[in-house]
């Protein structure tokens, strides 16, 4: 509601004398401007560029100002709700959250990979894939070199699944270490190894559970895509989901060399 005051509070926090010079800048994760997340926002299309302009003014040209943003590529979806193109001039890069498209928050399924690179026949919601989101952001005039591709270091899964291929019905979320329906890659690679790929990501059917997640192999394909599109690089959520020897982060690094 008061972008300048908010920006000043962020700057005061980042540059607090107790840890001044630790941080490179500020990253904003607003879910979602002029759209609905856990709650709904109706601040208008210009609220987001107004906020990012205030942050850039407050932090200056030498600090990083970045934002994690929606990857909803559907027609009339969240990307269209806010003026992300208008705010692009103020950010160093955007991080479209190209994961969590599907999951056991739809407890009965259909099963679908939570981070497809591309659409595929039978995808439950057309427009819920990474390439469509990137295409839409580019089409709005956002430079490719201000976009990063998001990689999840975890899987999303269902239980009560009999069908190996995507699109099966389920009875609920699969058990997880921290919460139902989510598990780290470092666990899944051993407990439920990948049995197939769809849309440029992997899935696994073991017993009556069905998971989708990225592997070093599918990350290599995603990095090829990022390079081909001239993207600034990639980002991930989050580090503790990787193996102790960093299989996934190493795959990102190799793919972006």
Q: Which residues are known to be catalytic? A: 31
Q: Is 34 left (phi over 0), alpha (psi -120 to 50) or beta?
A: left
**Inter-residue contact 75 to 127 (CB < 8 Å):** yes
Angstrom distance (rounded) from CA 163 to CA 180: 20
**Rounded to 5 degrees, what angle do the CA atoms 120, 217, 27 make?**
80
Strand, helix or coil at 11? helix
Q: Two tokens at 195? A: 């049995």
Q: Which tokens sit at 22?
A: 């630790």
Asked whether 134 and 231 are in contact (CB, 8 A), the reply is yes
Burial environment of residue 18 by CB neighbours within 10 A (0 to 12, 13 to 18, 19 or more): exposed
* Residues found in the chain: 257
User: Dihedrals φ, ψ of 6, to 5°?
Assistant: -65, -45
**Cα–Cα nearest to 58, from 17, 94, 11, 13:** 11
State the Cα–Cα distance between residues 143 and 88, nearest whole angstrom. 8
What is the C-alpha separation between 168 and 181, in angstroms, rounded? 16
3-state SS class at 49: helix
- Tokens representing residue 13 in the block: 């926090």
């Amino acid at each position: 509601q008061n972008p300048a005051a908010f920006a000043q509070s962020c700057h005061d926090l980042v540059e607090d004398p107790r840890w001044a010079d630790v941080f490179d800048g500020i990253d904003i994760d607003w879910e979602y401007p002029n759209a609905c997340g856990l709650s709904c926002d109706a601040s208008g299309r210009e609220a987001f560029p107004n906020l990012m302009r205030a942050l850039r003014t407050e932090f200056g040209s030498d600090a990083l100002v970045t934002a994690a943003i929606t990857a909803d590529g559907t027609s009339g979806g969240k990307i269209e709700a806010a003026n992300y193109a208008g705010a692009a001039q103020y950010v160093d890069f955007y991080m479209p959250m190209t994961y969590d498209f599907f999951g056991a928050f739809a407890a009965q399924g259909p099963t679908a990979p939570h981070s497809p690179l591309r659409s595929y026949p039978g995808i439950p919601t057309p427009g819920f894939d990474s390439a469509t989101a990137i295409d839409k952001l580019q089409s709005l005039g956002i430079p490719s070199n201000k976009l990063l591709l998001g990689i999840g270091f975890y899987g999303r899964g269902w239980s009560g699944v009999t069908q190996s291929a995507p699109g099966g019905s389920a009875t609920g979320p699969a058990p997880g270490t921290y919460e139902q329906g989510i598990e780290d890659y470092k666990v899944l690679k051993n407990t439920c190894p990948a049995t197939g790929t769809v849309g440029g990501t992997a899935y696994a059917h073991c017993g009556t559970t069905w998971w989708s997640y990225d592997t070093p192999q599918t990350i290599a394909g995603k990095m090829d895509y990022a390079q081909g599109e001239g993207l600034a690089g990639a980002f991930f959520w989050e580090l503790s989901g990787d193996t102790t020897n960093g299989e996934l982060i190493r795959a990102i690094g190799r793919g972006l060399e």
